[in-house]
Structure 1
Amino acid sequence: MLYLLDHPIELFVVATVVLLLAHELGYRLRAFAKHPEDKDWEREVHQTRNQIAVLLSLLIGFAMSMGLSRFDERKQLVIDEANAIGTAYLRVGMQAEPVRSAAPQLWREYVDARLAIFGTGSHVDEHDPAVKRTRQIQDELWGQAATVAQQTPTPITGLYIAALNDVIDLDAKRVAAQRNRIPLDIWALMAVLAILTSLVVGYGQRHRAAMATFIPVLMVAISMSLIADLDSPVNGLIQVSQQSMQMLSEDLHKQF
């Protein structure tokens, strides 16, 4: 299940196959109905189908909203982090030694490490060398800033420490945003409702009809795969652009 949620294309294939099988099962179960030609019985089947389909539609809309909000949050955090790093880097030039001479190179390495973490299409792993290097750079930058603040406490130093603190906070926010996924309970309920809807649609069909079979199945499968694509921070066709961080990296290295 977790693998499929991180691979929307595979999820689309699996969902399509499962829903088609559920539809076929429902169609075959109709043969065991006692009154398949009774109008009242058929009306009840259609009402049941519509009720389940409405619940499924509402849940898909809710999950889509959750996926979009998470995607927008991850996208905004990239811009916020690039701006925060750029602000801190500019304030380095106004600091006393050793910050003024040592910090610029650390900031360049920091940006490169962030791109290595979030630009490779993989989950954040605390054992990853880029993640460890990020933590080391944060400690070094903070240690330098703390030393200068103790020796020459000035408003300018305070502004740099505030910018550095924002950068560290955004690191935690980006990691948390990547791990903030749509709950599995919602996915499980969506899968159950989708299977039940397809089952009842097949059960209510008198004759096989390709349009009535494939279109509902494809619509549900596409919707679920799109939600997974938006929700997955590492795989899929829709990915958060790292352009802001890439442009910042290029600008910082040009100044070297």
Structure 2
Amino acid sequence: MASLLYGAGWAGGLVLAVGIFTSILIALELGRTVWQWQVAAGREPETTGVSAVASAIFALLGLLIAFTFSGAASRFDMRRTLIVQEANDIGTAYLRLDLLPQPARGELQEIFRQYLDARLDAYRAVPDRKRVEAFLVRSDVLRERLWTRSVTESQRTASTTATMLLLPALNAAFDTASTRLAATREHPPGVIFGMLFALCWVGALFAGYGMASRSTRNWLHALFFVASLTATLYVIIDLEFPRLGLIRVDAFDQVLQEVRNGMR
């Protein structure tokens, strides 16, 4: 799933939604076909037992949807919070470079600007994974240069103020960046999504079986049922990958961009 979304971005999400819709619709029709096959074979279709099983499946499906949706929404909020936190930490660390004398101050400020540019470029490059990784590697190199040079220059100053204030601020900015990167890769195990899709398909199978007692298809009910499940699954996936679909955190990058604009 992640490979599909990263490979094609928004278009990949659309393909995924169409695939989910089609597969659930097929499962619905398959349930109807099973009913018709039993009737054609002269057997009495099950009703009571099927209703009990279908109720249990849909109850379990509702529980799993609630669990995955809640987790996805929490992670989405956490990612937005981390963007703001990183912007605050970077702004604080950049201001504390003023504790260093020239020309080291100017050189470190320029490295810091390049570091933030690389961070911004990495997230703007999504879903191009190769470009994202290239920008992240560049930001790591600049981070090492920034830290090493800051430690060296702090030790050269006569006052300990730079060491006490600048280095912890830099460390906080770098830690938040690492936490934010880890948060973008934090998703439920694939088996959770597998169970969710499987329950949707099995539920659609039983729903199609139960709806087959009517002589004619009720397309309105069938399409509404399939569209509801598809929309729910798509929103959950969209929340898990908020830079690839309709639900996005890109607007919060403006906070980092404003910090970058203030680096003069």
TM-score normalised over the length of structure 2: 0.87
SS at match of 1:93: helix
Aligned residues of 2:122 and 2:132 also touching (Cα < 8 A): no
How far apart in 2 are the matches of 1:59 and 1:128? 33
Once structures 1 and 2 are overlaid, which stretch shifts more, 81-90 or 45-54? 45-54
Deviation string, structure 1 residues 55-94 (Cα, Å, up to 9, x no partner): 1111111111111111111111111111111001111112
- Equivalent position to 1:195, from 190, 193, 201: 201
* Residue number in structure 2 paired with 1:209: 218
1:69 alignment counterpart = 74
TM superposition shift of 1:125 = 5.5
| Percentage identity across paired residues of the two chains | 32
Q: Deviations over 1:30-56 (max 9, x none)?
A: 0233213xxxx4232222212111111
Give the drift of 1:5: 5.5
For structure 2, list consecutive stretches of 5 or more residues without a partner in the other structure: 7-11
Q: Does the 8 Å CA contact 2:31/2:209 hold for their aligned counterparts?
A: yes
Aligned to 1:250: 261
The count of corresponding residues between Structure 1 and Structure 2 is 249
- Greater Cα shift, 139-148 or 184-193: 139-148
Cα deviation, 1:80-112, whole Å, max 9, x if unaligned, reads 111111001111112234532211111111111
CA separation in 1, counterparts of 2:35 and 2:4? 32
- Contact 1:53–1:197 under 8 Å retained in 2: yes
SS of the equivalent of 2:168 reads: helix
Any conservation in 2 of the 1:79–1:244 contact (CA below 8 Å)? yes
2:93 is matched with 88
In the TM superposition, residue 233 of structure 1 has moved relative to its aligned partner by 4.2
* More relative contact order, 1 or 2 (CA 8 Å, 6+ apart): 1
Cα drift, residue 163 of structure 1? 0.6
User: What SS class does the counterpart of residue 101 from structure 2 fall into?
Assistant: coil
1:60-209 map, 5 Å: 60-122=65-127, 128-152=133-157, 154-205=160-211, 206-207=213-214, 208-209=217-218
Measure how far apart 1:11 and its partner are: 1.8
SS, match of residue 234 in structure 1: coil
Normalised by the length of structure 1, the TM-score is: 0.90
Supply the distance in 2 between the matched residues of 1:165 and 1:247 (Cα, whole angstroms).
21
Native 8 Å contact 2:79 2:184 kept in 1: yes
What value does the CA root-mean-square deviation take over the aligned residues?
1.9
Structure 1: state its 5+ residue gaps: none
Which stretches of structure 1, 4 residues or more, deviate above 4 A after TM superposition? 123-127
